[in-house]
Amino acid sequence: MTVAEKTIGCVKAATDILGDKWTPQLLRFFANEESLRFCQLQDLVGGINPRTLSARLTHLETAGIIEKTTNESSTRCDYRLTKKGTALLPIIRDMERWSSHYETV
């Protein structure tokens, strides 16, 4: 495996997450709220359908970016960022900075 190929694989791990539609937005909401539930995310994002939201959360949980806490005494469950997920926030902010600086929106 060449250095270039190894580099490629590393980029891919991040873009696999950040390249998905809705995912950067979802992570931003966790930055503010710390703990969120399914329907809260649904309301915050506005327009995402449950099928897609479920897929995103599963993906993020599998990747170790968020963790799910099911409350025994109710049907509620909370999602919150892991350390790995929190470490992703500065990158998202840099992407925003880059966009707002160069993009003429």
Partner DNA sequence: CCGAATCCAAAGCGATACTG
Partner DNA sequence: CAGTATCGCTTTGGATTCGG
The interface region with its own copies, picked from 33-41, 48-56, 69-77, 87-95 by CB under 8 A, is 87-95
- Contact between 25 and its own copies by CB under 8 A: the answer reads yes
Spatial neighbors of 22 by CB under 8 A, at least 6 apart, are 45, 48, 52, 53, 56
- In angstroms, the CA 47 to CA 22 distance is 10
- Contact between 78 and its own copies by CB under 8 A: the answer reads no
Which residues are near its own copies by CB under 8 A?
4, 7-15, 18-20, 24-25, 28-29, 44, 64, 84, 87-88, 90-92, 94-96, 98-103, 105
